[in-house]
């Protein structure tokens, strides 16, 4: 396990990775972290600062200067501002006399040379010489290399009583099977579930379990990145974030030390999820969305079914990435940063449109539940204030192709979830079989819902005609949270939610919208969801995508007051009501 952790540490980058891990590690060791890395702030050589007692010694101030990987001649002392020696000089000459908090002015100081790898032998003499020349009675130096950090992680994060020996092989298996993402994700889920269950049973274990989840996810991500396959890391990040919120949600709004630690630990998991999503979307998806069939051919399928399933999955991931970007824009304080995020959100919307237009598989879902990915994609485009005509064309193509496939016994949308059964779909031209696999639908009412919001009466009429002429047996449904949703949404441990059955699609678009929105007003459980109350609404959408739960209709409520206008006239970056 130590070798696994050390390899992980050596692969971490300096910014937003190693310097994000260290504060959690120090807090777990009992130190009080009083300075963390900040965006755009002057650091005077100090990346992380903490105070406290280690190994029973007197209380000291620990000042960390962090570098990635091995310490080489270049990273030790060169013309680069990022070299370690100039940073140590800044700590000694500037930080200690000018920026060290007054309450710590008289305490012993330890300046820590922190890096994820090792000191290369040709540099060691220079480092030891520097330490010898600059050590004083008050200021000493310590080397925190990959070996020491790995030991501390094992002692503080992965203690035997919190990560039993029989759980450690599960992490090893998850790492060993990264080339088989489903298997790797399965093993990681076992590990995350075990950590979650420990914390769920005892509040005092929440903080440690959250930090352990964070470090285990980081280890998986670092190995996956080195392996060039981020699939397992992406899925694991979604699951970890949802688990973490379920553990942390009741601590938000509290000001005691434990609650603040839990809040910070959740933010750490959220940051890790965001970084994995950045790597995945920017590296694997965005470079190929403008290429005709670029992502379709990359699937390398054994059947056309694989292309369809993967393309809709990628669509949901890209839309989810855009929705998180939109959320960040709505909460950003700095105007310049907010503007960048708004532009980024619109760029992602354009990428969603390019992905759809360049991959024909996205014009005909094979599974009814792919309505979830369609909903997320349209919501992202709607929130960014662009693509109204593209949305209309896309919805029109979907309903036309779905009807054509149904009438011609082609691969029409169905409720089958089992992969082997999907490969045989449609297995016969049999009316009873067709009724069986289309007995219910969230896809068609979702299309009708957005067509009504967009003011597209033609697409809405196509849905009603399809229903009247071919799908009288089909129960059109929309989904609403109920009183059990909050307890189950983020872990999916049990069934929850309520369906509005037999949605009256035969009514006019305005009457249809009035009915589904009135149902939203009656179903107030959405307002009581913790992620909604704490303004972390993308978590609800993430749970929908990850666990394949229909998206709550409540996400269309911002258009209720604008139902007489076109979508483009609605404020593109709104706060949910």
Q: Number of helices (H) and strands (E), helices first, in the chain? A: 24, 9
Select from 433, 295, 402, 405 the least CA-distant residue to 352: 295
- The pLDDT, as a whole number, for residue 326 is 94
At residue 13, the pLDDT reads 67
Q: What is the pLDDT of residue 15?
A: 67
Q: What percent of the chain has pLDDT over 70?
A: 91
* Mean pLDDT for the stretch of residues 175-199: 92
The answer to whether the CB of 505 falls within 8 A of the CB of 476 is yes
Domains, the chain: 1-156 (3.40.91.30), 362-569 (no CATH)
Q: Where residue 260 falls among pLDDT bands split at 50, 70, 90?
A: confident
Distance CA 401, CA 391 (A): 15
Q: Say if CB 48 and CB 27 are below 8 A apart.
A: no
Angle at 121 between CA 118 and CA 124, to 5 degrees: 85
Instruction: Record the tokens describing residue 221, joined without a space.
Output: 């991500």
Task: Say how far apart CA 293 and CA 312 lie, in whole Å.
Answer: 14
Give the orientation angle of helix 304-331 with respect to helix 335-357, to 10 degrees.
160
Write the DSSP assignment of 37-91 as a string of letters.
--TT---TT-SEEEEE-STTPPPEEEEEEEE-SSB-HHHHSSSSTT-HHHHHHHI
* Span 3-25, average pLDDT: 72
Give the pLDDT of residue 69: 82
Whether 235 and 185 have beta carbons less than 8 Å apart is answered as: yes
Indicate the angle between helix axes 335-357 and 388-407, nearest 10 degrees: 30
pLDDT tens-digit series, residues 197-255: 888 877 778 888 888 888 889 889 988 988 899 999 999 999 999 999 999 999 998 88
User: Residue 549 — pLDDT band, cuts 50, 70, 90?
Assistant: very high
Query: Average pLDDT of 410-415?
Result: 96
Question: What confidence category does residue 565 fall into, taking pLDDT thresholds of 50, 70 and 90?
Answer: very low
pLDDT in tens, 480-524: 999 999 999 999 999 999 999 999 999 999 999 999 999 998 888
Predicted local distance difference test score (pLDDT) of residue 12: 67
Within 10 angstroms of residue 427's Cβ, the number of other Cβ atoms is 12
Minimum mean pLDDT range among 61-70, 155-164, 324-333, 549-558: 155-164
Least confident of 27-31, 130-134, 165-169, 225-229: 165-169
Helix (H, G, I), strand (E, B) or coil at 567: helix
């Amino acid at each position: 396990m130590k070798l696994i952790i050390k390899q992980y540490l050596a692969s971490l980058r300096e910014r937003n990775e190693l310097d994000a891990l260290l504060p959690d590690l120090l807090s777990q060791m009992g130190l009080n972290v009083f300075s963390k890395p900040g965006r755009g702030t002057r650091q005077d050589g100090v990346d992380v600062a903490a105070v406290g007692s280690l190994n029973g010694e007197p209380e000291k101030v620990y000042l960390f200067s962090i570098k990635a990987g091995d310490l080489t001649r270049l990273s030790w002392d060169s013309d680069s501002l990022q070299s370690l020696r100039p940073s140590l000089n800044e700590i000694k000459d500037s930080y200690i006399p000018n920026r060290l908090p007054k309450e710590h002015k008289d305490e012993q100081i330890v300046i820590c040379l922190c890096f994820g790898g090792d000191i290369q032998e040709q540099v060691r003499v220079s480092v030891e010489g520097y330490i010898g020349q600059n050590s004083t009675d008050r200021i000493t130096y310590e080397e925190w290399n990959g070996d020491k950090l790995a030991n501390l992680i094992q002692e503080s994060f992965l203690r035997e009583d919190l990560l039993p020996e029989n759980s450690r092989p599960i992490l090893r298996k998850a790492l060993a099977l990264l080339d088989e993402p489903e298997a790797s994700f399965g093993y990681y889920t076992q590990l995350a579930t075990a950590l979650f269950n420990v914390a769920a049973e005892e509040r005092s274990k929440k903080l440690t379990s959250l930090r352990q989840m964070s470090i285990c996810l980081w280890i998986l991500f670092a190995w996956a990145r080195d392996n060039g396959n981020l699939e397992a890391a992406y899925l694991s990040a979604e699951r970890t974030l949802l688990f973490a919120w379920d553990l942390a949600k009741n601590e938000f709004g509290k000001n005691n030390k434990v609650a603040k630690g839990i809040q910070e630990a959740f933010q750490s998991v959220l940051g890790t999820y965001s970084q994995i999503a950045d790597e995945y979307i920017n590296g694997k998806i965005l470079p190929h969305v403008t290429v005709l069939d670029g992502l379709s051919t990359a699937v390398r399928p054994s059947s056309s079914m694989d292309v369809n399933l993967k393309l809709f999955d990628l669509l949901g991931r890209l839309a989810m990435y855009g929705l998180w970007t939109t959320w960040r824009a709505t909460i950003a304080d700095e105007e310049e940063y907010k503007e960048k995020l708004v532009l980024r959100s619109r760029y992602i919307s354009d990428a969603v449109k390019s992905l759809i237009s360049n991959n024909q598989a996205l014009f005909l879902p094979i599974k009814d539940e792919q309505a979830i990915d369609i909903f997320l994609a349209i919501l992202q485009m709607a929130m960014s204030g662009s693509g109204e005509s593209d949305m209309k064309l896309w919805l029109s193509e979907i309903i036309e192709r779905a009807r054509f496939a149904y009438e011609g016994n082609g691969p029409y949308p169905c409720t089958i979830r089992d992969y082997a059964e999907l490969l045989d779909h449609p297995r016969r031209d049999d009316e009873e079989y067709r009724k069986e696999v289309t007995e219910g639908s969230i896809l068609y009412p979702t299309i009708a819902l957005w067509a009504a919001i967009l003011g597209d009466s033609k697409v809405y009429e196509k849905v009603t005609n399809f229903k009247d002429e071919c799908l009288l047996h089909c129960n059109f449904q929309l989904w609403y949270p109920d009183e059990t949703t909050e307890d189950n949404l983020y872990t999916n441990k049990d069934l929850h939610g309520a369906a509005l059955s037999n949605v009256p699609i035969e009514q006019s678009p305005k009457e249809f919208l009035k009915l589904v929105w009135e149902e939203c007003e009656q179903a107030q459980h959405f307002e009581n969801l913790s992620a909604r109350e704490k303004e972390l609404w993308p978590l609800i959408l993430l749970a929908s995508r990850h666990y394949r739960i229909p998206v709550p209709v409540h996400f269309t409520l911002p258009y209720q007051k604008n139902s007489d206008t076109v979508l483009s006239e609605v404020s593109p970056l709104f706060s949910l009501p």
